[in-house]
Structure 1
Amino acid sequence: MKQVHSIRRARKRLFIGLITGTCFTVCLLLFTLWLIPYVGLENIHPSASWILGLIVLALVGSVSVAYWSLFFSIVTKQSLPGARRSRGLTIKFFMPLMVLLGKALGIKKESVMLSFISVNNEMVQMEAGRYKPEEILLLMPHCLQNSKCDHRLTYDINNCSRCGKCPIASLLELHDKYGVNLAVATGGTIARRIVVQMRPRMIIAVACYRDLATGIQDTYPLPVYGVLNERPHGPCLDTTVAPFLLEEALQRFLKEEYLAGKHPGIGKMISTAQGTQL
């Protein structure tokens, strides 16, 4: 557990460092946008440069407010006013710039995305409420199934014999115990279709770092809590996930009256068989 907390702290520090650098760079570029044409704008109209300056200043102020709101939320672990919008700005705007900045600084894209997922999870934990089982979707990649299994789960997950050779049996147990929705998607497009069809209010997703980061971006503003799968045999082959991590997330996001597991069978189970891993 100490090692896990240490990794989380390292990822959080990396995220804070990158988003600080990104915010500073954006503000610098905005000031430069005003400074460069300053002399030329005066020839158009005496007040043109000042009007542009006010616009740039407003943009810099917006970026700065969003940054500090996010920064203090991360540091204090409390959802501050504007933190939800800051998370959206980070997901849609800052994240791509952070990847570029990280690349320029020689930081691997994987490290940047892992830091993003870690901070996103903390923000979701702070902002999200508690939900009924039918409002939560457990979204899993098909690569969790044992590649040597003879049962076709891509069309009907109930075909699982629950032999315990892959994590699917444990996922079915969580579905039975808490009544949450369970879906197995074989591609990002299929995953998005499932989300549209089921209309969950909360998603707990399992995938690799790349697909989790993409999924979080694609489904915003829907809260997505990401759990990394383990890849002992490489990507997309016989991956695993620790069931207790998913149960911990369910304990956090389910309403109190459903935590005793007294409402089984509420959720649905969906399998699909197209595309690539989420």
Structure 2
Amino acid sequence: MKETGQGKRLEDRLLGDEWADWQPGAKGGSSSDAPKSLFIFFSFLVLLLALLGVWLFWYLALPRFESFGQGFAGVAKAIFLIFAFTLAAWYLLQVSSAAFKVKLAPSFFVKHLSLRILLSSAVRLAGMVGITRDKIGNSFVKFHNDLMYATRTGKNVKKILLILPRCLSAEVRNKIKELSEKYQFVAYTAFGGDEARKAIKDNKPDAVIGVACERDLISGIQDTAPKMPVFGIPNKRPEGPCKNTSIDVKELEKIVRYCLNI
């Protein structure tokens, strides 16, 4: 226990004190819950800025292109338009798939060309207007899961690995244990990213479900999605980070049943 400047006594936290969206002593902790539209909005801004940058380059380089002839300039313009159209289609297919839960984007996009490649820039852009990494991460995880559902990625698998954080409450752990026995999947508690990666390597699952805080889920999805289907479930932190966290067990069961095609 330790004393604060206001004379209140708070539990020591070896982890989590640096979290931007948690104020020590705040009643009920804090919530990073955010709709998937938040990530969609900022990823759209990132894409728009990228297209504006490409257009600006083309506009400034146009006189040089024209010096090689109108034909060369015309080809350069066509390349720019094709590039812009391809990016727009790539974005709209994924957003529409996740929003309407209809398979418009191919599964290949989820593995190798997902909007997650815009995530780092979206996090920085959101941070400029005071939106925390955890909120934009929470939104991204929801978007990613819905894209998985829409594209039927990870459906009808045989072996599921559930990776858990050590901070879950005993009550939640008991409920998860019951689910693992009911659906016969492996639940593994990892003490960090390296241990989680080792668990995946050792168990060789067909699909992974990760339970963690948003920042760990972002890292895990970025690492794992190109190799195998991965779902994320952000934990809830009513007592602040890294202590007696919880999850929506019904959401976990929904993902498990989807993966097993039950």
Under a length normalisation based on structure 1, what TM-score does the superposition of the two structures give? Answer: 0.72
What is the CA deviation profile of residues 30-88 of structure 1, one whole-angstrom value per residue up to 9, with x for unaligned ones? 11121112223444x33554444343333222211101101221332111143641674
For 1:190 and 1:216, locate their aligned partners in 2 and report how far apart those are by CA, in whole Å: 15
Structure 1: which 5+ runs fail to align? Answer: 1-6, 147-164, 257-278
Determine the structure 1 residue equivalent to 2:131.
107
What is the CA deviation profile of residues 197-239 of structure 1, one whole-angstrom value per residue up to 9, with x for unaligned ones? 2222211111011111221111113222211212233222232
Determine the structure 2 residue equivalent to 1:131.
157
Instruction: Confirm or deny that 1:203 pairs with 2:227.
Output: no
Are the equivalent residues in 1 in contact too, given 2:110–2:225 (CA < 8 A)?
no
Instruction: Confirm or deny that 1:244 pairs with 2:256.
Output: no
Determine the structure 1 residue equivalent to 2:191.
186
**Aligned partner of 1:72: which letter?**
S
Correspondence 1:10-89 to 2 at 5 A: 11-43=35-67, 45-46=68-69, 48-82=72-106, 84-85=108-109, 88-89=112-113
Correspondence 1:129-168 to 2 at 5 A: 129-132=155-158, 135-144=159-168, 165-168=170-173
Structure 2: which 5+ runs fail to align? Answer: 1-31
What is the CA deviation profile of residues 135-167 of structure 1, one whole-angstrom value per residue up to 9, with x for unaligned ones? 2111111222x6xxxxxxxxxxxxxxxxxx443
For 2:36 and 2:247, locate their aligned partners in 1 and report how far apart those are by CA, in whole Å: 22
Instruction: Confirm or deny that 1:234 pairs with 2:240.
Output: yes
Determine the structure 1 residue equivalent to 2:174.
169
Given candidates 202, 210, 219, the residue that maps to 1:214 is 219
Aligned length, in residue pairs = 227
For 2:230 and 2:86, locate their aligned partners in 1 and report how far apart those are by CA, in whole Å: 25
Structure 1 residues 199 and 54: alpha-carbon distance in aligned structure 2, compared to 1, 3 A threshold: farther
For 1:112 and 1:195, locate their aligned partners in 2 and report how far apart those are by CA, in whole Å: 26
Q: Which runs of 4+ in 1 moved over 6 A?
A: none
**Aligned partner of 2:156: which letter?**
R
Are the equivalent residues in 2 in contact too, given 1:130–1:255 (CA < 8 A)?
yes
Are the equivalent residues in 2 in contact too, given 1:205–1:227 (CA < 8 A)?
yes
Determine the structure 2 residue equivalent to 1:272.
none
**Structure 2 counterpart SS, 1:196:** helix
**Aligned partner of 1:230: which letter?**
K
**Structure 2 counterpart SS, 1:200:** coil
**Percent identical across equivalent pairs?**
29
**Aligned partner of 1:73: which letter?**
S
**Aligned partner of 1:240: which letter?**
S
For 2:45 and 2:230, locate their aligned partners in 1 and report how far apart those are by CA, in whole Å: 26
CA RMSD after TM alignment: 2.5
For 1:196 and 1:50, locate their aligned partners in 2 and report how far apart those are by CA, in whole Å: 51
